[in-house]
Each structure stands twice: as structure tokens, then as C-alpha cells.
Amino acid sequence: MPKITLKKIKPADKNHFAKWWRDKTLLKLTSGILKPISDKEITKYFFAILQNKNDYHFLIRADKKVIGHVSLVKRNGNRYETQIIIGEKKYWNKGYGAKAIKILMNKAKRLGIPKIFLEVRPTNLRAIKAYEKCGFIKSGVKKYPKNKFMPEILKMEFENTLQKTK
């Protein structure tokens, strides 16, 4: 397996996100929204990510090839939500996502982030398996009866047991 590293995102990385945010297969697995995304929307969302100083966003690299994105997004208190996408499909089902999550969890430990949660489609079995492999446990189901794209979401949580390190 190539070496997996995380690299902080920069403005020049927008093209990777534009490609992934327009991929219907990826959108169906993540947001479930299949409407076209305009260049303006992509630029607006991407630069909002870059400017938010409470969150951590990284490109996932296999050796030096960019294959995806992983993040820690601050929600309430000291709780963070993680999100991951392996945007390059030839890297699916090979353990790259789980490896990237483990690296991210180590970063979270060093930052003193005690609890991390995520939301995943119950049908995204590949992602659920990777999350469980990394120590996430199922914590409940959240229902969205008015959302035709995603009527329910599986919630999973991870608790860092080590103290903040330098």
C-alpha cells in the first residue's frame, strides 16, 4: 500500500473538490443531492472551508497523488464531526479511507479533541466498515422524514482516550 499522508488544503486545491462535488456517485453516497453544482457554488463553498479557522481540512494523498479529503468540523462545545471522501474511485475498497481516518484521529488526539462523531448513510456499508475498523461505534439513527434524498442517517462516535500531546 502506498504511504498515506494528510496535507492541509490550499486555494490551489479547488479543482479536486470541483471534480468530486460534481460526481453523481460520490454525491449519492455523501449528501444524496444530485442537482448540478455551479462553478460559483463550488468557489463559494470551497473558500468558506479555507477561511473557517475552527475546522481542519486535509487532502488525502497516496504517495503524492491526491485521492480524497478528510476533515474535522467543529460543531458544539468541543465536539467535532469528521467527514471523508475518497474521490478517486480506483482507490476504493483498498483501506485508504480507514488509514486516513486513523491518521486524522491521531491528529485529533494531539489537538486535544475528546469526541468525534460522524453521520453516514445506513446503506454505505463500505464506509461503515472503515469507521468501525477505526474505533467508531454506532450510536443511533437520526431520521429526516421530509428529506427525500436522505430519510435517515446512522450516527457513529469515537472517543479519544488519551490526553492532549504536544
Q: How many CB atoms lie within 10 A of CB 46?
A: 20
Can you tell me whether residue 48 is helix, strand or coil?
A: helix
Residue 160 has pLDDT above 80, yes or no: no
First to last CA, the chain: 29
- What would the pLDDT profile of 110-134 be if each residue is shown by its tens digit? 998 989 999 988 888 888 988 999 9
DSSP 156: E
Can you tell me whether residue 80 is helix, strand or coil?
A: strand
E strand map for 56-162: 56-62, 65-74, 79-86, 115-120, 137-143, 152-159
If you search the block for the grid coordinates 468530486, which residue do you land on? 20
Helices (H), the chain: 14-21, 24-29, 39-51, 96-111, 125-133
The domain defined by 4-159 folds into Aminopeptidase (3.40.630)
What integer pLDDT is reported at residue 118 of this predicted model?
93
Instruction: List own/partner pairs for 66-69 with CB under 8 A and 24 or more apart.
Output: 66/13, 66/16, 67/91, 67/96, 68/20, 68/96, 68/97, 68/100, 69/9, 69/16, 69/17, 69/20
Give Cα 138 to chain centroid, integer Å.
Answer: 17
- What would the pLDDT profile of 61-86 be if each residue is shown by its tens digit? 999 899 999 999 999 888 899 999 99
Domain ranges of the chain: 4-159
Query: Per-residue pLDDT averaged across 92-112, rounded?
Result: 93
| 165 band by pLDDT with thresholds 50, 70 and 90 | very low
Q: Are 87 and 69 a contacting pair, CB within 8 Å?
A: yes
Q: Which residues contact 64 (CB under 8 A, 6 or more apart)?
A: none
- What would the pLDDT profile of 1-55 be if each residue is shown by its tens digit? 789 999 999 999 999 988 988 888 887 776 656 677 888 998 999 999 999 999 9
What integer pLDDT is reported at residue 136 of this predicted model?
95
Tell me which residue of 25, 133, 39 sits closest to 89, measured CA to CA: 25
pTM: 0.85
Q: Is 83 exposed, middle or buried (0-12, 13-18, 19+ CB in 10 A)?
A: middle
pLDDT, greater one: 30 or 58: 58
What integer pLDDT is reported at residue 38 of this predicted model?
86
